[in-house]
Every structure is written in C-alpha cells, then in structure tokens.
Amino acid sequence: MTLFDRDLLEESLRQLVARLRESGTRSGIRIVGGAAIALRYFERDSTVDIDAHFIGSTDAVEAAARAIARANDWPDDWLNNKAAGFIPEYGATPVQWVTLHDDGEVVIEVASPEALLAMKLKANRPGRDDTDAAKLMAICGIATLAEAEELYEEYYSGEVLPERAIRMVELILRAGVPEVPATPKNVDIAPSAD
C-alpha cells in the first residue's frame, strides 16, 4: 500500500500537472479529505489516496492518473473521485476553493476548511475523522455544538447533523478544541522545466 505523506502528495501533483499539460486540454482537480488538509491546513498522518472532483476533461484526468499509477507502481485509485458525493453542492453556502496551482492549463484546488469540516462531520468515521475535525473546528472557530450544527446545515441544506457526528463533536468539546494548528509551508507542485 502506498502512503502519501505531504512530500509524496506534492510529487504526485507535480506529475499530474505535467501529464495534464501534455493533454492540451484545460483540466484539473478539486481536492477534499486528508490530502487537502495535509497540503493546505495542517500536518497530519499520511493518506492512502487523493480524493478529488475532476474538472475540465475527466477523461484527461483519468488517463493521466492511470499513467502515473503505472509509472510509480501505485494503486490505480491513488487519485479518485469516490468522495465527490460528499462535496456539498446545493447548500446555502457554496464551497469555496483555494487555488494551489493554476498555470492557465491546469488548475489544482482544495476545499476551504469550513467545507472540509462539514464533510468530515458528514462522514463522521470514529477514529478516522475526529482528530481532523477537532483541528478544523479550531481553524474555523467552532467552539460549541450549536456552531457545528449551524455550519453543517449551511453546507447540507435540509439535513441535520447526524447523531454520530454530534457525539464526535461533544467528545471534542469535552476534551477541548485544540489550538489552531500551524499552517504548512506553501505547496510547490509546478513541474520542473526540463
């Protein structure tokens, strides 16, 4: 199993940018989940994949991802859109995207910390999402259950915070929301000019 720490995330995205440039079609990805967090918001354990929404030419992104997987002996789904269903598309608050790279041909973006927190609350996987959720709560200034519920409902209109997520937030609040974590260094994913 390949584990993507921050350095390998950056390297994989450099390779993706280079391959997508070769395709000649404007395309890119919008990253969510652990990879987005590690690239932009705070240091965290490695992740097994990059969850993203493909933009522009989906075929170009998929072809580039397959070629990179073969070249590096990575799993075929190292870059996938399995989490796309968690991205809140119809909420009162639209997802804001932070650009990590845009050279006019290829764009790489990550979701805002608020959107990532809403998605972590929706997934609410015990033991997997609690640390990320706690740190995202700190970044977003969420200090009460009511604030967490309000944020969730802004992104997922017509839904209420799931019971398991309520328990997760209550445990985080009991332990104390951590300090705002240090922001990692800027992402460097521009391919080298060979």
Residues near 71 by beta carbon (within 8 Å), at least 6 away in sequence: 15
Average pLDDT, the chain: 93
Among 51, 113, 115, smallest CA distance to 88 is for 115
Q: Is-above-0.75 flag for pTM?
A: yes
Label the pairing between strands 79-80 and 97-102. Answer: unpaired
pLDDT digits (tens, 9 = 90+) for 82-140: 888 888 887 888 999 999 999 999 999 999 999 999 999 999 988 889 999 999 999 99
Q: 194 pLDDT exceeds 70?
A: no
To the nearest whole percent, how much of the chain has pLDDT over 90? 80
pLDDT at 191 over 80: no
Q: pLDDT at position 64, please?
A: 96
Residue 108 has a pLDDT of 97
> φ, ψ for residue 177 (rounded to 5)?
-65, 130
DSSP state of 41: I
Answer yes or no: are the C-beta atoms of 50 and 79 closer than 8 Å. Answer: yes
Instruction: Look at residue 91 in the predicted model and tell me its pLDDT.
Output: 80
- Of 137 and 187, which is predicted with more confidence? 137
**pLDDT(173) > 90:** yes
**Stretch 63-76: mean pLDDT, rounded?**
96
Residue 22 confidence (pLDDT): 93
- For residue 45, the 8-state DSSP code is -
